[in-house]
Amino acid sequence: MKQTSISEVKLIEIPLIKDIRGNLGVLEGSTVPFKFKRVYYLFDVPSDAYRGAHSHKEQEELLIALSGSFDVVLDDGKEKKRILLNSPRHGLYIPPGIWRELEHFSSAAVCLALNSDVYSEADYIRDYDTFQNSKED
């Protein structure tokens, strides 16, 4: 697995087309730092629940709070960081090799996720101890 650090995680500003009728966010071309092959969204997540709790071996991911807010807890095996996502104007880029947990979902929160590849269970590390051990290799 690629050795990555928290410093490679970044907030990306989503280009907007502003109009008196409402704003339009654009995800195309160089906006997303990878070509995405999978798009999914989380919604109706209870406020006391969490999602994620995994790392990807190869896939890159961009998370966007389309509505409401939630925290993303990131861990590279040495350092942890918490980022609040609460605006569709920014996406959180997460490279492979970073453990992530999503928690504290507000009422009506919607999390959009763009991934660099289609779903593959083989790309996931779902056990934290296994993740930690992979960082020591």
| Per-residue pLDDT tens digits for 55-105 | 999 999 999 999 999 999 999 999 999 999 999 999 999 999 999 999 999
Which residue numbers are catalytic?
Answer: 54
pLDDT at 29: 82
Residue 1 has pLDDT above 70, yes or no: no
- Name the residue ranges covered by the structural domains of the chain: 6-136
Q: Which of 1-15, 38-52, 93-107 has the lowest mean pLDDT?
A: 1-15
| Exposed / middle / buried, residue 134 (Cβ in 10 Å: 0-12, 13-18, 19+) | middle
Query: What CATH architecture applies to the domain 6-136?
Result: Sandwich (2.60)
